[in-house]
Amino acid sequence: MRQPITFEIARHYRQLTEQETADLVDAIADMVVAFVKTRKIELAPKPEQGASATPAPTPDPERN
């Protein structure tokens, strides 16, 4: 059996300045808004061809 490949990950980071933090927050907020707007369009029900805009009548409970 082959040995699994192992590797080390080195992460280099530093504390962001106040301006860098604000820029990052703005960029992430823009991405979230764009995503939600895109999903909202995709998830919106598509009107059927020739269907009326009036809702279907509610069933009468006494008829069941």
Helix%, strand%, coil% for the chain, nearest 5: 45, 0, 55
**Which range is least confidently modeled, 11-15, 37-41, 47-51?**
47-51
Task: Note the pLDDT of residue 59.
Answer: 66
Distance between CA atoms of residues 33 and 25, nearest Å: 12
Give this prediction's pTM. Answer: 0.46
Q: Which tokens go with 35?
A: 């995503």
pLDDT above 90: residue 24: yes
Long-range CB pairs of 27-33 (<8 Å, 24+ gap) are none
